[in-house]
Amino acid sequence: MAEFRVPTTVRVAGQPFAVRIVPSGEALSRGVSGDTIGHMDSGHQVISLYGPDVLSTACAVDTLLHEVLHAIIAVHAIVLEDDEELVSRLSPALLDTLRANPDLVAALLSDWEVHEHGPED
């Protein structure tokens, strides 16, 4: 398994979201609840991971994907009655599916236009 490296920026529909790592002590001193491990601020386009120093890698990865899904919903103005419910259920399921299917991930990341027209076009 590849080492977990937190991206500094995540682009959603071309819009950059800065990813901030907030150590647990700093998060607590800012009044962030000890239960809160991530936050997405659509106005400032910032994704915060709180206390990644005390989270397992699996939890930090899930939190990052969770907040990215919130960003996708916000940027694309997807109106949902309860986006927390959807994101909370979809994030671990999507992560599990992507991890179980590296060929799928490779296909998703490939440049379909190049393959469609061949390298000599």
Binding-site ranges for Zn ion (CB under 5 A): 84, 87
Contacts of 115 (CB under 8 A, 6+ apart): none
Shortest CB 72 distance to Zn ion, Å: 12
Cβ-based nearer residue to Zn ion, 23 or 39: 39
Shortest CB 35 distance to Zn ion, Å: 12
Shortest CB 11 distance to Zn ion, Å: 20
Shortest CB 91 distance to Zn ion, Å: 8
Cβ-based nearer residue to Zn ion, 80 or 98: 80
Cβ-based nearer residue to Zn ion, 35 or 111: 35
State both tokens at 31: 């009044």
Cβ-based nearer residue to Zn ion, 84 or 96: 84
E strand intervals along the chain? 9-12, 15-22, 38-41, 46-50
